[in-house]
């Protein structure tokens, strides 16, 4: 892929429009040429400009917040910062045991 520049005419997905970039000869367009128009990146496929993405489609590592995650997302618990440490401070469940002792339960009664 090779970045060409910023188009000065409207470019849409699957269009074959000359992007009119200073110093760029559209008659010599090559598959892999990349241009920008209206904060969107397009790549020449050999017959048309194909949309690669726009500024809203990229994620920077560490920038994802809780509101960005879909309710149905299946995320490994090991990838949630500090979750393992939080679980390690919790009382383990032991079959047949309660969280309070029998002596304390009797005193409450």
Mean per-residue pLDDT for 97-107? Answer: 62
Please give the structure tokens belonging to residue 88.
């390690």
What's the confidence (pLDDT) of residue 105? 63
pTM comes to 0.55
Would you call 37 exposed, middle or buried from its count of C-beta atoms within 10 A (0-12, 13-18, 19+)? buried
Which has the higher per-residue pLDDT, 105 or 61?
61
Domain ranges of the chain: 2-54, 74-108
- Is 49 within 8 Å of 13 (Cβ atoms)? yes
pLDDT one-digit tens code per residue, 62-95: 777 878 788 888 888 777 888 878 877 776 666 6
**Which residues, 6+ apart, have CB-to-CB distance to 52 below 8 Å?**
34, 40, 41, 42, 43
């Amino acid at each position: 892929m090779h970045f060409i520049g910023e188009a000065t005419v409207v470019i849409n997905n699957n269009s074959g429009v000359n992007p009119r970039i200073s110093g760029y000869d559209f008659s010599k367009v090559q598959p892999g040429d990349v241009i920008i128009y209206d904060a969107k990146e397009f790549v020449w496929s050999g017959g048309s400009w194909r949309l690669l993405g726009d500024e809203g489609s990229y994620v920077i590592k560490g920038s994802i917040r809780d509101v960005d995650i879909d309710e149905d997302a299946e995320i490994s618990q090991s990838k949630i910062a500090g979750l393992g440490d939080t679980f390690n401070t919790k009382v383990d469940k032991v079959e047949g045991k309660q969280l309070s002792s029998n002596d304390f339960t009797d005193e409450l009664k």
